[in-house]
Amino acid sequence: MNSFTYYAPTKIIFGRGTEKETAAEIREHGGKNVLLVYGGKSARKSGLLDTIEHELAETNLPYKELGGVKPNPRLELAEQGVKIAQEIKADFILAVGGGSVIDTAKAISLGVANPETPLWDFWLKKAQPVRHLPVGVVLTISASGSEMSDSSVLTKEATHEKRGINTNLNRPCFAILDPELTFTLPKYQVACGVVDIMMHTLDRYFTSPEEYGNQLTDEIAEALLRVVIRNGRQAVADPHGYGPMSELMWAGSLSHNDLTGLGAVKDFSTHQLGHELSAMFDVAHGASLSTMWGPWARYCCGQDPARFAQYAEKVWGVSGKGTAEAAKLGIDKTIDYFHSLDMPTCFTELKIGVQSDETIHELADRCVFRGARKVGHFKELGREDCYQIYKAANR
């Protein structure tokens, strides 16, 4: 087996009604003064915020709220949250929501604990955070896996830049996972979440051939993908089904806590390609991923068709085919599955329309940071590679 280090310190409290344990968990992790971060009206309308507020009040935990987190979370709101947390001397950040809310809470945590550094400098890799405030999560969307991950993604609205940071300081100390909190989601959000969960595993599964060798890691990844594919269909058809929604919630956490990629180097090309679509057009993260995976896979399949053939066999049940044909079938079945969820697989379906060649070049240039980096590990992508992949999606 390849060597690896596995660190997953987040305490998971899973099941119906577990949000009522939030205040006790905050206390257990040393919180005495809380900044509560959430998104829009749905958290209030569902009654979840009322429940959390009641729990905090009952245990005499002072708190202040910051709402308004949007999909593709904004740097500017995180900076506002840092100021509020400093004013109230918060020692704990509580995220009530999905990935965007959690990523915002993580950013606030780093900003408060490292006040000498402009917050965006961490996302630009100009500086590394050395301290953090503890973050807790009450999850309402199964998608990003941010409730157990070391990552946080922000968008700087003024420049349409979307950047991510990975540090173990980002890992929440606890996460409340009650699948019933996802029952109010629109079907489109459920479908976006299914894609995001799949991509967090696929962007680890497709790594360079020298990274293969950990059979258990592959088996975990393949099993997780099969479970998500099977339950994803059911969840989109009926978002009120506890069984499918609970399977997705746990799969989302495991897909991004590094378990599905132990012993390998993450690729994440699809994420990087999708980030530029989200930054430029403000499209949903999951939709950007379903749009870009097919063009990426078809462009990169020749790098190692045997890996794609294994994926086709173990995840999609393809058998009795040669390597090249099996690899193609695995890609086609994935794209067909996205369509079955009404998820986009090209720019027209993404509802941004066919773009000019100038825009395609600009997307590619942004993806490689104007030539400052290359993207990916399965197949290293430069500016021209990214251009060709965006071009294939531009229909």
pLDDT tens-digit profile of 274-310? 999 999 999 999 999 999 999 999 999 999 999 999 9
172-202 pLDDT tens trace: 999 999 999 999 999 999 999 999 999 999 9
Give percent of the chain above pLDDT 90.
95
What residues form DSSP beta bridges with 96?
38, 138
Percent helix, strand, coil in the chain (nearest 5)?
A: 55, 10, 35
If one looks up domain 188-393 in CATH, what number appears?
Answer: 1.20.1090.10
* Mean pLDDT in residue range 265-269: 95
Q: How far apart are CA 194 and CA 144, in angstroms?
A: 9
Between the alpha carbon of residue 278 and those of residues 153, 163, 253, 360, the distances in Å are: 11, 11, 22, 14
Asked if residue 19 lies in contact with residue 178, where contact means CB atoms within 8 angstroms, the answer is: yes
- From CA 358, how far away is CA 342, in angstroms rounded? 29
Phi and psi torsions of 18, nearest 5°:
-70, -15
Please state which CATH class domain 11-181 belongs to: alpha beta
24-68 confidence digits (pLDDT tens): 999 999 999 999 999 988 888 889 999 999 999 999 999 999 999
Task: Give tens-digit pLDDT for 374-387.
Answer: 999 999 999 999 99
With H, G, I as helix, E, B as strand and everything else as coil, classify residue 85.
helix
Tens of pLDDT, residues 101-137: 999 999 999 999 999 999 999 999 999 999 999 999 9
How confident is the model at residue 42, as a pLDDT? 84
The length of the chain is 395
In Å, how far are 33, 159, 279 from 22, measured between CA atoms?
14, 37, 33
Residue 168 has pLDDT above 80, yes or no: yes
What is the residue type of 347? F
Angle at CA of residue 326, ends 325 and 332, nearest 5°: 90
In percent, the amount of the chain with pLDDT more than 70 equals: 100
CA pseudo-torsion sign 163, 74, 90, 30: negative
* Structure token pair of residue 65: 């709220």
pLDDT tens readout for residues 327-362: 999 999 999 999 999 999 999 999 999 999 999 999
Tell me the C-alpha distance between 269 and 319, whole Å.
28
Q: List the chain domain ranges.
A: 11-181, 188-393
Q: And the tokens for 264?
A: 């390998």
Average pLDDT of the chain to the nearest whole number: 97
This prediction's pTM: 0.96
The pLDDT of residue 41 is 82
Q: Which residues pair with 38 in a beta bridge?
A: 96
Give the pLDDT score at 40: 85
Query: Do residues 352 and 277 lie in contact, with contact meaning Cβ atoms separated by under 8 Å?
Result: yes
Compute how many other C-beta atoms are within 10 angstroms of the C-beta atom of residue 382: 15
CA dihedral 261→265→271→273, nearest 10 degrees, is -150
Q: In this predicted structure, what is the pLDDT of residue 210?
A: 77
Amino acid making up residue 384: E
Does the structure show a pLDDT above 80 at 213?
Answer: no
Q: How far apart are CA 271 and CA 274, in angstroms?
A: 5
